[in-house]
């Protein structure tokens, strides 16, 4: 398990239609604040504030194809050559990041091969470095 110290939350949150929404600084839009979105936004802030990755190298919830199936990854961090470097799958804090989530990110990794794979529910964080063939 990986220990992550998330930065203190400093999000723009407001009620819209009696539901909490959070402003996504990467996508520049308001999103319904659900458990998984809270985890995703905190992980993004960790990447930006702690790890100092530029916004321009981070993609959120983009569509990918697995055969005929359309899926969306949670977070993809590119390297400086704009090649996939780290793929992150986020779950809500009450969801276990077990074997089924590992299989999910491995399927996504077929379309979007990245050197690092991360699973997180905000409380438990797991990561793997894949051996990349030259």
Residue 89, SS3?
strand
pTM for the model stands at 0.92
Which regions of the chain does DSSP assign to beta strands (E)? 13-16, 19-24, 29-32, 58-60, 63-66, 69-72, 75-78, 84-90, 116-120, 125-129
Q: How high is the pLDDT of residue 61?
A: 93
What are the tokens at 87? 């793929």
Region label for 85, one of left (φ > 0), alpha (ψ between -120 and 50) or beta (otherwise): alpha
Residue 102, SS3?
helix
Cβ(58)–Cβ(47) under 8 Å?
yes
For the cut 60, the answer to whether the pLDDT of residue 76 exceeds it is yes
Say what percent of the chain tops pLDDT 90: 84
Q: What domains lie within the chain, and their CATH numbers?
A: 13-129 (3.90.1570.30)
């Amino acid at each position: 398990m990986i220990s992550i110290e998330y930065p203190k939350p400093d999000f723009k949150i407001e009620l819209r239609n009696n539901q909490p929404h959070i402003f996504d600084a990467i996508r520049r839009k308001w999103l319904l604040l659900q458990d998984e979105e809270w985890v995703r936004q905190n992980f993004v802030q960790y990447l930006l504030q702690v790890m100092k990755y530029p916004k321009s190298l981070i993609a959120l919830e983009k569509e990918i194809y697995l055969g005929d199936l359309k899926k969306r990854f949670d977070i993809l961090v590119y390297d400086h050559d704009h090649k996939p470097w780290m793929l992150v799958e986020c779950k809500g804090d009450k969801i276990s990041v077990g074997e089924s989530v590992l299989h999910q990110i491995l399927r996504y990794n077929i379309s979007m091969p990245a050197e690092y794979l991360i699973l997180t529910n905000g409380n438990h964080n797991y990561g793997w470095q894949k051996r990349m063939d030259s």
